[in-house]
Structure 1
Amino acid sequence: MSSPDLVALGSAGANQWRVNKTTCDLVRKTRAPKSVSFAAEPQNLSIDLTRSAIIVIDMQNDFCHPDGWLAGIGVDMTPARAPIEPLSKALPALRKAGVPVIWVNWGNRPDKLNLSPSVLHVYKPDGRGIGIGDPLASNGAHVLEKDSWAAAIVDELAIEPDDIHVDKYRMSGFWDTPLDSILRNLGVTTLLFAGVNLDQCVFGTLLDANCLGYDCVLLTDCSATTSPAFCTDATIYNVKQCFGFTATATDIIAAID
C-alpha cells in the first residue's frame, strides 16, 4: 500500500526504502537497462551502463609525477603516466553516460597504525630509505599519506564533485575499505578497471572483485605498470583466463557514442 508522504531512506537511488510513521516500503525502484556492446577478449561484451562503474586506481603524484615517490627512489615512472591521456578522454564520456567514477587511492593514516609490517616491508625492505609515510626529498610531502600532495591525484585528471573517493591501505582496494558497501548501494555489478600498477594494485583489486562476484573488465589502454613487460603479459593473460575480460576504453566510448 503506497502513501504520498513516504520519505526516501538511503544514500543511493538504487538502494532506497520509502518510509513514514506507519509504512515501510522495501520495493526498490527499477532502472531501465542501457546496454552497450563492444569488442573484448576472450569474448565480445555487452554491459548495462546503469549497473556499471569505473574504478581508477592509484593515479597519484607519488606514482605518476616526476617529483613523486617512485621517481625519487630511482624508478622510471614514465610508464605510469601512460593512462593519463586515455583516462582524460574516457572519464568525461563515462560520466555523461551515467557511469560512476570511483577513485581508489592509497591514503594512509599519518601514524600508520592501520599498516602491518608486511605492508611497510614491501616498500622499505631493509628498514632504510624512503617508504610509506616518510617525507619526500623533493618537497617534504609524506609518501601516500592521506591529504598530502604525494597521495593526491595527478593534476592532469579532472575530478568532478560527484566522483566517489575511497582510501585504501593495501594492494587491494577491497581490504579494510568501504568499497564493496558503496558498490552494493549503487547497485553496480560490472566494474571497469584502470590505473597503476597493473600487475599489483589494479590486479589485486580486480581479483578480489571477481571473488566477490562482480563482472570485471580490465581497460588495457587505461592501465599500466612500471614493472617489466612480462608482468603486463602475465596479468592480462590471467585476467582473460580466470578473472574477467579485457577491452579498451576507446572501444567502449565509441560504442556509447
Structure 2
Amino acid sequence: MAVRTDAGEEAGLHPLGTSASNRWMVSQAHADLVRPRLPALPIAVETRSKSVRFDLARSAIIVIDMQNDFCHPEGWLASIGVDVTSARAPIAPLQRLLPVLRNQRVPVIWLNWGNRPDRLNLSPALLHVYKPSGVGTGLGDPLPGSGAHVLEHGSWSAGIVDELAPAASDIHVAKYRMSGFQDTELDSILRNLGVTTLLFAGVNADQCVLCTLQDANFRGYDCLLIADCTATTSPSYCMAATLYNVQQCFGFVVDSPAIGVALAGLAPDRREAT
C-alpha cells in the first residue's frame, strides 16, 4: 500500500467524501479509512457562568428561523398581530458576527422552517398549534395581503430576511418541527463536518431555538447559546427561562462581543495557513 504523503494524500489513492474532516482515500485495491486530522483552533470565551475553551475548527453556528414570516413587518406573524420588533433584534449582531466566523471557515448553517407545498409532512397536532380554531392563517395558508404561503419551502415567506443574505458557502437545512433534528438531515451534516460544538442563534428562543439546542445536547454536542443573537416574540419571562435552562442544564450562554474578542487576535483562514 502506498505511503501517505505530508499533504495527507497517498499515491494512487483518491479522496472519497464531501467533507475535509470525514473522508477515505481509496483505489481499486485499497481503502484507507483513517480520517485526516485538521489543525485545532482553540479559543476561550467568557460565558455568563464560566470561561469556556472550545475548538473553533470543530464548531458550527446554527441560525434558526430568521425568516420573513417570523421577522419581516409584512410576514406571517406580523399579519396576525404579533409585534416582530424583538424578532429583528438578532439581525444587527449577526451581521457583525457571521462574517468573522466565515473568515475562520466556521460553517454557517441556516436552519429554516420550510413546509412541503402539499403539507404532507405536517400532522394535525402541529397544524393545531398555529390554527387552534381551524380557521385563520396557519402553516401553508396564503397570507391575506401577498398571497405567499406561510413558511412554504422556496417561498418569500420562508426566505431569510434580506439583511442577513447568506454566503455561497453557507449550508441550508429545512425543518418542519420545533426541533431542527427531528426528521431532517441536520445531524448527518454535522457529523460529516466533524462538528462537536454548536453555537445557536435565531428565533424564537423559547421554542425552535431551545428545542433544537436541547436535542443537540441529547445527541452529545457541546452547546453555546449566543444571547444577543437570539430573541423571542414571547413574553420576557420566556426568554429569561430559556437562558436559565440552557445555562443550568444544556450548555452555556455567551454574548457575541465575547466571541468577537476571542476571534480578534486570529488571522483570517488561520487553519488553511497552518
TM-score category (smaller protein): over 0.9
C-alpha displacement of 1:253:
1.4
Letter matched to residue 234 of structure 1 = A
State the shift of 1:209 in Å. 0.2
The aligned counterpart of 2:207 is 200
Residue matched to 1:140? 147
Superposed displacement of residue 117, structure 1: 0.7
Is 1:214–2:206 an aligned residue pair?
no
Q: Which residue of 1 aligns with 2:128?
A: 121
- Aligned to 2:211, the other structure's residue is in SS state helix
CA–CA separation in structure 2 for the residues paired with 1:138 and 1:173 = 29
Q: CA deviation at 1:41?
A: 2.6
Q: Deviation per CA, 1:144-175: give whole Å up to 9, x if none.
A: 00000000000000211110000000000000
How much does 1:138 deviate? 2.1
- In 2, are the aligned partners of 1:18 and 1:24 still within 8 Å (CA)? yes
The question of whether the paired residues in 2 share the 8 Å contact of 1:56 and 1:104 is answered with yes
| One-letter amino acid matched to 1:243 | F
1:15 alignment partner in structure 2: 22
| Structure 1 residue runs without a partner (length 5+) | none
Q: Match for 1:229 among 233, 236, 257?
A: 236
Match of 1:256 among 254, 260, 263: 263
The answer to whether the 8 Å contact 1:53/1:192 transfers is yes
User: 1:159-215 CA deviation, whole Å, 9 max, x = no partner?
Assistant: 111100000000000000000000000000000000000000000000000000000
Q: CA deviation at 1:113?
A: 0.4
Q: How does 1:80-119 map to 2 (within 5 A)?
A: 80-119=87-126
5+ residue gaps, structure 2? 3-9, 265-274
Aligned-residue identity in percent: 62
Work out the CA distance in 1 between the residues paired with 2:12 and 2:66. 45
Q: Which letter maps to 1:167? A: A
C-alpha contact (below 8 Å) 1:88/1:158 kept by paired residues: no
C-alpha separation between the residues in 1 aligned to 2:60 and 2:191? 11
**Structure 2 length-normalised TM:** 0.93
For the residues of structure 1 that align with 2:145 and 2:40, how far apart are their CA atoms? Answer: 49
Distance 2:256 2:33 in 1: 36
Instruction: After the TM superposition, list the runs of 4 or more consecutive aligned residues in structure 1 that deviate by more than 6 angstroms.
Output: none
In 1, the alpha carbon distance for the partners of 2:48 and 2:252 equals 6
Q: For residue 189 of structure 1, what is the aligned residue in structure 2?
A: 196
Task: Give 1:7's aligned amino acid.
Answer: H
Count of aligned positions: 257
1:72 and 1:240 map into 2 onto residues whose CA distance is 34
Partners of 2:217 and 2:159 in 1: how far apart? Answer: 27
Residues in 2 aligned to 1:50 and 1:138: alpha-carbon distance in whole angstroms: 45
